[in-house]
């Protein structure tokens, strides 16, 4: 998983207009999803459910919001 520095997150938040804390949450969730997807055992037996995971997928396809 990638290590995000506070400085990097603040720069990206400033460039995109997103809230820094929300941006970090989405980055970390993407890391978890990528790990689950790449793991042969976990990718076949685990799924995320709930608002955060659904919003991440739905809104990344249709609306870029955090």
Q: Could you count the other beta carbons within 10 Å of the beta carbon of residue 45?
A: 9
SS (H, E, C) 10-55: HHHHHHHCCCHHHHHHHHHHHHHHHHHHHCHHHHHHCCCCCHHHHH
Give the pLDDT confidence score for residue 12 in this predicted structure.
92
Give the pLDDT confidence score for residue 37 in this predicted structure.
86
Give the pLDDT confidence score for residue 1 in this predicted structure.
64
Q: pTM (2 decimals)?
A: 0.69
Give the pLDDT confidence score for residue 11 in this predicted structure.
95
pLDDT digits (tens, 9 = 90+) for 1-53: 678 899 999 999 999 898 999 889 888 888 888 888 899 999 898 877 777 77
| Torsion angles phi and psi, residue 47, rounded to 5 | -145, 150
Task: Name the residue ranges covered by the structural domains of the chain.
Answer: 18-62
């Amino acid at each position: 998983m990638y290590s995000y520095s506070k400085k990097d997150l603040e720069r990206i938040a400033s460039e995109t207009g997103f809230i820094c804390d929300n941006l970090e949450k989405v980055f970390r969730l993407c890391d978890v999803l990528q790990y689950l997807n790449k793991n042969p055992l976990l990718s076949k037996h685990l799924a995320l459910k709930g608002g955060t995971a659904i919003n991440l997928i739905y809104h990344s396809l249709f609306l870029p919001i955090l």
